[in-house]
Structure 1
Amino acid sequence: MKGWRDGVMGRVLVFAYPLRWRFVGAGLLAAGTEAAGLGLMAAATWLLATAAGQPPLIALSVAIVLVRALAIGRGVLRYVERLASHDAVLRMVTEVRARIFAALVDRPPARRADALSRMVSDVDAVQDLVIRVLLPMAAAGLVAVAAVGTALFADPAVAGVLLAGLLITGVALPLLAARLARHGSARLAPLRAAYAVDTVDLVHGAADLAAFGARPAYEARGRAHADELARVERALARRSFAVDAAATALGGVTAMAVLATALSRGLPGVWLAVLAVATIAAGELALSLLAAARKGAEIQGSLHRVAELLDVPETAVADGLPVPDGSVHLRLRGAGVRYRTDAAPALHDVDLDLPPGRRIAVVGPSGAGKSTLLALLTGAISPDSGSATSLPVATAPSRVGVTAPPGAGTPITAFDRERWPAAVTGLLADAHLFHASVRDNLLLARPGATDEDLLAACRTAGLGDWVDAHGLDVRVGEDGAELSGGQRQRLALARAVLADPQVLLLDEPTEGLDPAQADAVLADVLAHRAGRSVVLVTHRLTGLDAFDEVVVLDGGRVKERGTQGWVRAHGG
């Protein structure tokens, strides 16, 4: 039987455990705020009803002080509760963002805009889970129990009617609201992510889209996603309105039922007013529970997307990626990837065997499918056809052409941390440099690295002389704007070398360098990776003699493949 931590909610809330007493305090403050509001309505009603009989002022003094205290206390409690709850949840969200960032550094998604959506809007769902779902539910539940308990002192029958009304409006209706919202809300997170991708494509790719005449098509796709997103949100709004209206009506019905029961039980007139108004105030709690249940359903998709990235081992955040032991064996069999149903596949029927220590170079023209192949190997995307498997090394074949035992492979799916090897990464085409120092950019790969480790990685990537001259603390600018193209590429390569993954993936690592320097840098990287797996994507055929196999891609298909002799025969 799975523990609570194995579910989506558990994998998210495990980050709240170290802050549990802060959240308990925030929950008690929230309950105190709601109780103060309910008590204020009851005390004010009693004061007004009693004052109508013109009793001595001394008989009203306690109620007057209580009303003032509750009115002031409600505002103070609300303010302190917001401070406490937001302090705790922001501490929690900081840790969640750090863990997700470590996951994205280790295995970036296929589209940068999707990473942005996960880091921003999806992580905001974790904040909503605590602030707008769990805390309001806990506070409303505590106050509802206290209200029913207090009603018992007036009359058990009245308490029973109040309990029934609160169960309907505070339990049954929220469950109905969540059920109605779940169907449409499951599409909200993917639609928002798709819309973010469309926006980034249109903004950052404006020049390329205009040059190829593709801007109208991308704008139409963006409008379609925006329209679909608006349609889903309108449907959710209509359902919310209907359920809120039902809750308001049921609150009024409950108040009338409580009043009728109190009349039949012969309670004094003052208590009739207090019970009726307090019941209406208690019914307001049901609306907060409705909002919490609805929000909980709406963020389920985002929470799933966050949970997919929260299985990164803690060492990835604390100490960087684990030191590899060369024990990863990846295999593609007839793998195909199709981004759009109305377009040709980006990859079609690709076979690739990557046992521990094997070096494979992938060459081909632009648009051949090389970057898609790397995305498949990183786990950023899953094959639409064929299979991608991670073979246990104990049963993996030691050479190409040997069939693995049945069942030896484990299917790999996108962001499946339990199945996908933890350290398959490298220098990809969209490697990002942050507006920080060289040191900070390198430490993303291994936070515990020493200066000697950083300098060694820079020397391996051909950046040693520049770092010796400028130091590790020089800032590189936004996305490496203060560096030349070659320096930027070598700094990203140094970060990949420092990460030292079990399988190193390199996408044009020497782009922007002159041929002699490019060959020297590649040779140094391969020497550093002795005995470990490397996949290199490149346009060049020179410097490939050290690779065990060269795969030629064209139009998403493998056109040729060969070894060192093939390279020499083709002018490498």
Structure 2
Amino acid sequence: MSAGMSAGMSTVRRLVGVARPELKRLIAAALLGVLAMACSIGLMATSAWLISRAAEHPPVLYLTVAIVAVRAFGIGRGVLRYAERLVGHDAAFRVLARTRVQAWIDLDRAAPAGLGGTRAGDLLTRVTRDVDAIQDLLVRGLLPIAVSLITGIATVVLLTALLPAAGAVLLIGLVVAGIGAPAASPLLSARAERRFTPVRAQLTTDVHELLTGLADLTAYGATDQRLRQIRHQDGHLTGILRRSAFSTGVGAAVTNAALACTVIGEILVGVPAVRDGRLAGVVLAVLVLTPLAAFELVTPLPTAARHLLRGRQAAERLRALADLPSPSVAWRTTTHQPATAGTSSEKSAPTLSARGLTVRWPGAAAPALTGVDLDLRPGRRVGLIGPSGSGKSTLAAALLGFLTPEAGRITFGGADLSAFDEASYRRQVVLCGQDDHVFDATVRDNLLIGRPDATDDELLAVLDRVRLGAWVRRQPDGLGTTVGERGTRISGGERQRLVLARALLADPAVLVLDEPTAHLDDSTADELIHDIAHATEGRATLLITHRYRDLQAVDEIVALPEENSRTNAGHWRRRPA
């Protein structure tokens, strides 16, 4: 119980912290909403009085003020409603942007090592739909409740001033509709609403995995099985939405029943008051028709209650991102600049070293690497080979600072990684992985990630270094050629060359190549390795591979036995290339 309350309070504090900078805008939106609803109720009340008074055929001058008021209320309602939506959505979009940025910051802090237990589709749901739910919580949840509460009290006071019994009847009707309808909706669909966000996330995950793995699923004839699973999840979600719609209908029925009873109640208390002379006859229409407008206040409350529940669940899932483990290096906030990188001055480039390195992935029972010693000196190419699961990619993650060593030390230019700020270190040590993302954009846009200020001539020069420049020049759009999502419009070899060119464009001091020939046929892999050897001359390079043929152009070979990842008995073996 205490843990749940603590988590709930943490979620509330997070929401308050995100919304606090927009508090003035949210308050302004609430006030504009109150004024808009006041105009709507004033329009109904004034129109009712005007019609009743006009039936008595008074001089037209007696109706002038009411006529002007009707026009003012009619125009004011539309203008104020527009202003309320404009200010409210502006505040909500600002909160939305801040929430999305914070979600990405939380992911960046934990990535990639801390995301091992989280599926890509679920993360996609959190940074899209869950973030959008925070906007709905504000605009469709909190604001309608605040507007209904303030305007409802003012309307009850107005009718009480005309006839105390009429005010009491309206108060009872608004309380029944404003509390009973929103309460009935969650009660009827509480379990379904609790399941809505997780089921939607699971459906998104399944669809994402189907789309990303469609080629493999088709090759193995497993597409129909995954489609059946998605249909099952979609049916489950549809059932939840159906139950939610039913509860919303029940809430609407409660509201309409309360409205009908309120109107009848106003007639029952108003007619005797007119007979007794306690109330003017023309005011009776005001008592009877005003609730029709006042009940517009409670109509959105069942939906608001649902958005509050979904928004709270979404906020809890976003808060869980902040609770993800952070296994990366604790970088400094002040910059520690290493020596100048690049091939132009090998003597000034720093050395990346590992001593007695032991690395464990979060939650793993045993270390993935133990007792590792490695030096990546300027101008030297080191080949690291070992079977799958022996810890090659783990070493790359540690050298990049994604994993904090359990024991041992990693230094760059003689300083621990924690002495650097993350941005400066990332510019000096660059990873070129086997599955580096290629965006559905142009060749130019994909390369500019490595160095945003590069010119087209520099882009073509780096493409020439990886033997991709001639291909780009042959394309009708040149550097503007789109490569498709994950590089689907180009071959596997061209994709890897593009990734390598992007890494070289950053001109790092140390380049870590993690399985660059993975997923390539032997002839394409051999050509790529030859080009890598040419492109990395004079640069500290670590080539991680499981193919001995990839190591022909390195200066030193380090072999990692498979047992090194399972026991402490395995040791690294070095030999000249």
Q: Deviations over 1:26-49 (max 9, x none)?
A: 333322222222122111111222
Residue 222 of structure 2 aligns to which amino acid in structure 1?
A
**What is the match of residue 174 of structure 2?**
166
**What is the match of residue 570 of structure 2?**
562
Q: Classify 1:3/1:361 alpha carbon distance in 2 versus 1 (closer, same or farther; 3 Å).
A: farther
Residue 434 of structure 1 aligns to which amino acid in structure 2?
F
**What is the match of residue 211 of structure 1?**
219
Aligned-partner SS, 1:285? coil
**1:274-313 correspondence runs (5 A):** 274-309=286-321
**What is the match of residue 419 of structure 1?**
none
Q: Classify 1:334/1:123 alpha carbon distance in 2 versus 1 (closer, same or farther; 3 Å).
A: closer
How far did 1:286 drift? 1.2
Structure 1 distance, partners of 2:195, 2:512, is 33
Residue 241 of structure 1 aligns to which amino acid in structure 2?
G
**What is the match of residue 417 of structure 1?**
none
Structure 2 distance, partners of 1:320, 1:496, is 25
The answer on whether the counterparts of 1:508 and 1:537 sit within 8 Å (CA) in structure 2 is yes
**What is the match of residue 241 of structure 1?**
249
How far did 1:169 drift? 2.4
The answer on whether the counterparts of 2:561 and 2:572 sit within 8 Å (CA) in structure 1 is no
Aligned-partner SS, 2:58? coil
**What is the match of residue 439 of structure 2?**
434
Q: Deviations over 1:225-257 (max 9, x none)?
A: 111111111122222222221222223333444
Q: Classify 1:363/1:549 alpha carbon distance in 2 versus 1 (closer, same or farther; 3 Å).
A: closer
Residue 144 of structure 2 aligns to which amino acid in structure 1?
P
Q: Classify 1:506/1:124 alpha carbon distance in 2 versus 1 (closer, same or farther; 3 Å).
A: farther
How far did 1:222 drift? 1.0
1:74 to 51, 74, 77: 77
2:46 to 43, 47, 56: 43
Structure 2 distance, partners of 1:272, 1:281, is 15
**1:130-149 correspondence runs (5 A):** 130-149=138-157
Aligned-partner SS, 2:298? helix
How far did 1:148 drift? 2.3
The answer on whether the counterparts of 2:360 and 2:366 sit within 8 Å (CA) in structure 1 is no
Residue 39 of structure 2 aligns to which amino acid in structure 1?
A
The answer on whether the counterparts of 2:385 and 2:558 sit within 8 Å (CA) in structure 1 is no
Structure 2 distance, partners of 1:334, 1:113, is 21
Q: Does 1:59 align with 2:62?
A: yes
Q: Classify 1:490/1:152 alpha carbon distance in 2 versus 1 (closer, same or farther; 3 Å).
A: farther
Percent of residue pairs identical: 30
**What is the match of residue 343 of structure 1?**
none
Q: Classify 1:221/1:496 alpha carbon distance in 2 versus 1 (closer, same or farther; 3 Å).
A: farther
The answer on whether the counterparts of 1:181 and 1:294 sit within 8 Å (CA) in structure 2 is no
Q: Classify 1:262/1:26 alpha carbon distance in 2 versus 1 (closer, same or farther; 3 Å).
A: same
Q: Deviations over 1:167-217 (max 9, x none)?
A: 332245424534554432232223223222333343443332222121221
Q: TM-score, normalised by structure 1?
A: 0.67
Structure 1 distance, partners of 2:313, 2:545, is 35
Q: CA RMSD in A?
A: 5.6
Aligned-partner SS, 2:296? helix
Residue 515 of structure 2 aligns to which amino acid in structure 1?
E
Structure 2 distance, partners of 1:305, 1:321, is 32
Q: Does 1:550 align with 2:560?
A: yes
How far did 1:88 drift? 3.9
How far did 1:218 drift? 0.8
Structure 2 distance, partners of 1:498, 1:12, is 41
Structure 1 distance, partners of 2:159, 2:39, is 16
Q: Classify 1:507/1:35 alpha carbon distance in 2 versus 1 (closer, same or farther; 3 Å).
A: farther
Q: Deviations over 1:271-310 (max 9, x none)?
A: 3331232123222311212211112213433333334446
1:123 to 111, 117, 131: 131
Q: Classify 1:494/1:123 alpha carbon distance in 2 versus 1 (closer, same or farther; 3 Å).
A: farther
Structure 2 distance, partners of 1:437, 1:566, is 42
Q: TM-score, normalised by structure 2?
A: 0.66
The answer on whether the counterparts of 2:443 and 2:483 sit within 8 Å (CA) in structure 1 is no
Identify unmatched segments of 5+ residues in structure 1. 314-318, 337-347, 379-388, 400-421
The answer on whether the counterparts of 2:88 and 2:139 sit within 8 Å (CA) in structure 1 is yes
Aligned-partner SS, 1:186? helix
Structure 2 distance, partners of 1:11, 1:97, is 13
The answer on whether the counterparts of 1:122 and 1:306 sit within 8 Å (CA) in structure 2 is yes
**What is the match of residue 93 of structure 1?**
96
Q: Does 1:7 align with 2:10?
A: yes
**What is the match of residue 31 of structure 1?**
34
**What is the match of residue 191 of structure 1?**
199
The answer on whether the counterparts of 1:133 and 1:296 sit within 8 Å (CA) in structure 2 is yes
The answer on whether the counterparts of 2:184 and 2:247 sit within 8 Å (CA) in structure 1 is no
Residue 87 of structure 2 aligns to which amino acid in structure 1?
A
How far did 1:270 drift? 2.9
The answer on whether the counterparts of 1:96 and 1:123 sit within 8 Å (CA) in structure 2 is yes
The answer on whether the counterparts of 1:364 and 1:539 sit within 8 Å (CA) in structure 2 is no
Aligned-partner SS, 2:560? strand
Structure 1 distance, partners of 2:512, 2:308, is 39
